[in-house]
């Protein structure tokens, strides 16, 4: 689609910010909601069990997403000591909730976009053009967030998912690396490592979803 060719143009900023806000908010809310379902009230007590984006946005992380397509929100606080049973597994489920919410959001928005295009073709007015492009970017940014967060690099969700799968002795090593995770992420971003790894996966999933809904 022509939309992808103009992805990094300045004009796309009018689609990026609202899409990023929505995608990040639902991502973090999903973490908190699943943790709360497992008995952890930490996110709720911190005022983070909400769809109010102001409670979730991180200034630097949001700017990174706007400029580099990779970024983050303020992590929802989770205290696994409230969990009953296998805590590592439940931490894994809480971690899965964020990327899964983004993928589900991408699919739902793609279905909505397909219905609009096929049954209510956008008229040639600024709002219709903005809304159509916004929905396309919302699909893309949700896929970016899902794939990026599934990387097994601390403190991303993927590292906690991997820790929940591996034997405990290896999971301990992953948790110990978390203190260096932010530095690793920043260096990898500026070296373009993540872009080289993630971009092909993101575009494959994007085209697959658009193809499934007939776009």
Any idea which residues carry the catalytic annotation?
28
Give every CB contact of residue 77 below 8 A, 6+ residues apart in sequence.
42, 43, 46, 48
Q: Classify 166 as helix, strand or coil.
A: coil
Question: Which among 76, 91, 75 has a CA at the least distance from the CA of 32?
Answer: 76
What distances in angstroms separate CA 2 from CA 5, 6, 109, 131, one per listed residue? 5, 7, 18, 15
Q: Classify 100 as helix, strand or coil.
A: helix
Cis peptide before 155 (omega within 30 of 0): yes
| Phi-psi domain of 47 (left: phi exceeds 0; alpha: psi -120 through 50; beta: other) | left
Q: Which two tokens stand for residue 71?
A: 């970024």
Q: What is the DSSP letter of 58?
A: -
Give every CB contact of residue 81 below 8 A, 6+ residues apart in sequence.
87
């Amino acid at each position: 689609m022509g939309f992808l060719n103009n992805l990094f143009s300045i004009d796309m900023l009018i689609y990026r910010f609202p899409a990023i806000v929505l995608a990040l908010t639902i991502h973090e809310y999903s973490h908190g909601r699943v943790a709360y379902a497992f008995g952890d009230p930490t996110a709720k007590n911190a005022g983070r069990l909400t769809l109010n984006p102001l409670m979730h946005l991180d200034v630097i992380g949001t700017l990174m997403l706007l400029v580099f397509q990779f970024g983050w929100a303020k992590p929802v606080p989770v205290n696994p000591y409230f969990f009953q049973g296998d805590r590592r597994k439940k931490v894994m489920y809480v971690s899965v909730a964020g990327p899964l919410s983004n993928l589900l959001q991408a699919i739902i928005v793609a279905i909505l976009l397909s219905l609009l295009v096929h049954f209510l073709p956008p008229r040639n007015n600024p709002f219709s053009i903005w809304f159509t492009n916004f929905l396309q970017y919302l699909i893309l940014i949700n896929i970016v967030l899902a794939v990026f967060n599934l990387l097994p690099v601390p403190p991303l969700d993927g590292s906690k998912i991997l820790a929940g799968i591996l034997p405990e002795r290896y999971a301990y090593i992953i948790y110990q690396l978390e203190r260096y995770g932010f530095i690793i992420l920043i260096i990898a971003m500026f070296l373009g490592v993540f872009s080289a790894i993630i971009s092909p996966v993101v575009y494959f999933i994007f085209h697959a979803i658009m193809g499934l809904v007939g776009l």
